[in-house]
Amino acid sequence: MAQVKEGDVVKVHYTGKLVNGEQFDSSVGREPLEFTVGAGQMIKGFDAAMPGMNVGDKKTINIAPEEGYGHKSDEAIIEFPKEQIPADMKLEPGMPLTLSNQEGQPVPVIVVEVKEDVIILDANHFLAGEELVFDIELVEIV
């Protein structure tokens, strides 16, 4: 039976949770996730769990922040000029917004604080700093 190796295209079903059991994502009920092992399409810890698996294998893995979405970064806390926000927009801490980077790609942020002339935004990935738990089932080696 073929085992997954780096460079293989695989299809997996997965459920991602925090260590407290709170689920943040799952492919269950959808098409399996397809990606190339070792190509950098997945977070490091997920990628590293694939080699050696056989079709039908299931495993649960824990991924430290370093192998997931990294630690929260102070550089991702942004002071955004309030005059660049529409005057009729009511901002509150915890509110999600989407900014655009220089390439025009969307960047999700969370409002941390609303000050008189600036808004403090957090552009860290929402899973940054979290230990992640994934249940993985290898469905197919393409």
Q: What is the CATH number of the domain that holds 57?
A: 3.10.50.40
Claim to verify: residue 80 and residue 113 sit in the same structural domain? yes
pLDDT band at 29 (very low <50, low <70, confident <90, very high): very high
Claim to verify: residue 65 and residue 132 sit in the same structural domain? yes
pLDDT recorded at residue 101 = 81
Cβ-Cβ contacts under 8 Å for 23 (sequence gap 6 or more): 15, 16, 17
Claim to verify: residue 84 and residue 111 sit in the same structural domain? yes
Claim to verify: residue 80 and residue 43 sit in the same structural domain? no
What does the chain come to in residues? 142
Q: Is residue 29 a part of any domain in this protein?
A: yes
- Return the half-sphere exposure (C-beta side, CA atoms, 13 A cut-off) of residue 70: 8
Handedness of CA 39, 45, 49, 55 (dihedral sign): negative
pLDDT recorded at residue 86 = 84
Specify the DSSP element, H or E, that contains 97: strand 96-100
Dist. CA 93–CA 105, nearest whole Å? 23
What total number of domains does the chain contain? Answer: 2
Dihedral, 32, 34, 62, 2 alpha carbons, nearest 10:
100
Q: Is residue 1 a part of any domain in this protein?
A: no
Claim to verify: residue 61 and residue 42 sit in the same structural domain? yes
Question: For position 106, which CATH number holds?
Answer: 2.40.10.330
Q: Is residue 57 a part of any domain in this protein?
A: yes
Q: What is the pLDDT of residues 40-63, one digit of tens each?
A: 999 999 999 999 999 999 999 999
Claim to verify: residue 22 and residue 45 sit in the same structural domain? yes
Claim to verify: residue 56 and residue 79 sit in the same structural domain? no
Cβ-Cβ contacts under 8 Å for 106 (sequence gap 6 or more): 98, 99, 100
- For residue 27, the enclosing domain spans 9-70+127-141
CA 100 to chain centre: 18
Q: What is the pLDDT of residues 62-105, one digit of tens each?
A: 999 999 999 999 999 999 998 888 888 889 999 999 988 888 88
Claim to verify: residue 118 and residue 134 sit in the same structural domain? no
Q: What is the pLDDT of residues 98-142, one digit of tens each?
A: 988 888 889 899 999 999 999 999 999 999 999 999 999 999 999
**Do the beta carbons of residue 10 and residue 27 sit within 8 Å?**
no
pLDDT recorded at residue 111 = 96
Q: Is residue 3 a part of any domain in this protein?
A: no
